[in-house]
Chains A and B, each alone.
Chain A
Amino acid sequence: MLTLMLIGALLWYVPQVTSKSQPIAGVPASPPLASVARYTVPAHGRACMPNVAVTSRSDEVWFSVYPKSAKGGGSPVDFLLTAPRYRARAHLGGGYPGGGASLRITPPATSVLATACFINRGDRPIVLVGSEEARAVSRSVPLTINGKQTPGDISLTFYEGRSIDGLGLFSTIVSRASRLTDGLLPPALIWVVAVATALGVPLTLVLAFHDALREDERPPGSETGD
């Protein structure tokens, strides 16, 4: 039975665990669910969102931006993050056709809550993609465009600047899960739970089945009661 599980795990789990991907460092505001909200930022205007968590591993920022009109491509955009003792800027050159933009940023030394601003450096308006659906809007509100409050938020995702496999990501998963228990389970204890589950569940099952089969083979007189 253990051999069966081992073969199954090798065939199913190993390819998943060893495949590499670029880990997400944080999603302050998710891409829209059902309906897309488009926020127009006028020429030389800016759109800002508060309470954007930026971690020490936020090496890249991703958002969707389009030129307002199809003619001539998009205006240049500056992405600016500001928090006490932290400031980072990234620049997107003009002339893009529109779509997802990924820019390198300098992450803070420790995680901070920053204000994220998209500054239109061009002479033509741009459109940023976000969400207005009540169940998809994050805590990074109010969104302001040129100082005016606007409902919804602009979709924003931070990525780490490296590619790692599932095994490499595991310690990050453990520390994030620990934080979401508010520290009730420290990372070391979550490691114990993970190992106990991965080994304990198969093992207890094998032992239970083995014990049951052995009990069935015993002569009726020597049975223990239940």
Chain B
Amino acid sequence: MPTTSYSRRPARLRTTAATSRIGRRVRRIPTALILLLVAGALQSLAWNVALPAFQGPDENAHFAYVQYLAETGHVPSATAGSGSYSKEVQLALSDLNLTPLMGNLEMKPGWSNADLRLWHRSERLLTAKDRGDGSGPNPIAKNPPLYYGIMAVPYRVFIWLPLLKRLFVMRLCNACFFLLTIAFTWLLAGEIFARSRWKQTLATGAVALLPQLAFMSAVINADNLLIALFTGFTFAAVRLARRGPTTRRLLLAGAFSAGAVLTQGRGLVTVPVLLVAIGVSCARFRPQWRATVRDVVATGALVVVALAIGYLVQRSGGGGALYGGQASSLNSQPFSVTQFASFAYQFFFPKLTSMAPRIGPAYGYRQVFINTFFASFGWLEVTFHSWVYDVLEVVAFLGLLGMYTALVARWRSVSRAWAPFTVLVTLLVVQVVFLLYVSYQALLGDGGTDPLIAGRYLLPIVGLFGLAIAFTIGSLPRRVGPLVGSIVLSAEVLLSIAGIALTASRFYG
């Protein structure tokens, strides 16, 4: 019929055009980025194999949130409910000795065929109801629902798989956030280093090979999405500051910020940085004010809507406040500027004679910026020999010294790029101060036992880590820079593979 042939042809043409457009875009992806993504995917897969179920930080609780949301359509409660985990998860944790394995170096999982037979016997008795009864209390239920909503999709798609297989496949999907982080770092480095491909590759490679980041990609944990969104946000904010405030750039930065806010409480850090990026961009480009005000309001609305959604979803799950009251509890303890300043100082440097002793355990720069930022796996119990961290600390110190020297030596060109530089420095300062403040409040609240921060909380600003390495090494003479860059990347490769092997032998050896 003529009508049919008339309607089919344009549709086919449209499909062909879209396919060829996608094909063109894929062909335009630089080879170096594709190779780095392959390296990231390989690492994530290897980590997935090396790490038994629920042996990443809080993986059991994050999985329980995803499972309850996917099974019932509701978020679990942080304070009440019939059980933290579903009967299915509870049985797996028990039958395979996965609970006593958490954080306990002396323990091994149930790895024999007899263990598996026991688990299969339990699994056969489970019904669909036994997957959806983990209503809480789940401490992770304080998190807003974006990550869990996304992960509920692969959960539902692979619901027919037995638990261990389902978790493995979900972890593979989770690895996409790691690959996005690599891709966003590439774009961010492209903004900063313009056409210098080797610096862009160095910055991205340094991120793709960071053992802690690759490890986290194989753990069901909302941090993965937060890291990807933060890195995307950093790119969008730098682009905004560098190129000026258009509707698209503003909304892109706002969307990343809204996404981060809807993922984890730490996503709030993006909000002041977004304001600074907008301010810097407007100050530099002096755009037409009426259109800009409209775009800025729309951008702000994105963040406000994200906060409202987070609040409403959590209220529906029985949590009365945003982030389960975490945000408001940040100010619940009496705050002393002097004490906080002393706390922050002693986090990085040895105590001065005039200072009161720091509250909490001896936990500072070394533990957060070195040990748990580079390589602490499992439930933080899997670590390298201490000489590795000593070397990392010395190299990090030399790197910081080098970066300072490079900043001074290249101050003229850095000051010309003051807009993106301001955004990056703001992000670093706000993130670090925020983490220190949360730690300070937590220590005041619990009598100084749990400092609450680990190096993986710095991973959202991992893009800055890549940029700092590429900037410092990129400031060396052209003949030396790539050589030093290749040494740094080689060391990261060794560290990354050693981390996977160490973890596999801890759990299975």
Contact = CB atoms under 8 A, between A and B. Distances in A.
Interface of A: 1, 4-5, 8-9, 12-13, 23-24, 26-31, 33, 51, 53-55, 110-113, 135-139, 157, 166, 169, 172-173, 176-177, 179-182, 184-185, 190, 193-194, 196-198, 200-202, 204-205, 207-209, 211-213, 215-216, 220, 223-226
Given A169-B505, A176-B508, A181-B168, A215 B197 contact: yes
Nearest to A27: B108
B129 interface: no
B38 interface: yes
Given A26-B112, A197-B43, A209 B489 contact: yes
B498 interface: yes
Given A110-B114, A205-B35, 16 more contacts: A9-B494, A111-B115, A169-B505, A176-B508, A177-B49, A177-B507, A180-B52, A182-B116, A198-B497, A200-B39, A201-B43, A201-B497, A208-B33, A208-B205, A212-B202, A213-B197
Interface string B155-192: 00000001111001100000000000000000000100
Given A182-B164, A209-B202, A209-B485, A111 B112 contact: yes
A149 B100 CA distance: 20
B509 A224 contact: no
A182 B162 contact: yes
Contacts of A176: 111, 508
9 contacts: A29-B100, A157-B106, A173-B509, A179-B113, A181-B164, A185-B49, A197-B45, A207-B31, A213-B197
Interface stretch (B13-21, B91-99, B240-248, B281-289): B91-99
Given A112-B114, A173-B505, A177-B508, A4 B49 contact: no
Given A135-B99, A138-B100, A4 B490 contact: yes
A213 B30 contact: no
B165 A204 contact: no
Interface residues of B, number: 75
A165 B202 CA distance: 36
Contact of B42 (A24, A197, A223): A197
Contacts of B153: none
A53 B53 CA distance: 19
Interface string B78-108: 0000000000000000111101101110111
Contacts of A113: 114-115, 117-118
A205 B107 contact: no
Interface of B: 28-33, 35-36, 38-39, 42-43, 45-46, 49-50, 52-53, 94-97, 99-100, 102-104, 106-118, 162-165, 168-169, 190, 195-198, 200-202, 205, 209, 482, 485-487, 489-491, 493-494, 496-498, 500-501, 504-505, 507-509
Residue of B53, B202, B508 ringed by the most chain A CB atoms within 10 A: B508
A8 B490 contact: yes
B116 to A, nearest CB: 6
A204 B489 contact: no
A31 B101 CA distance: 11
A53 B163 CA distance: 21
Contacts of A190: 49
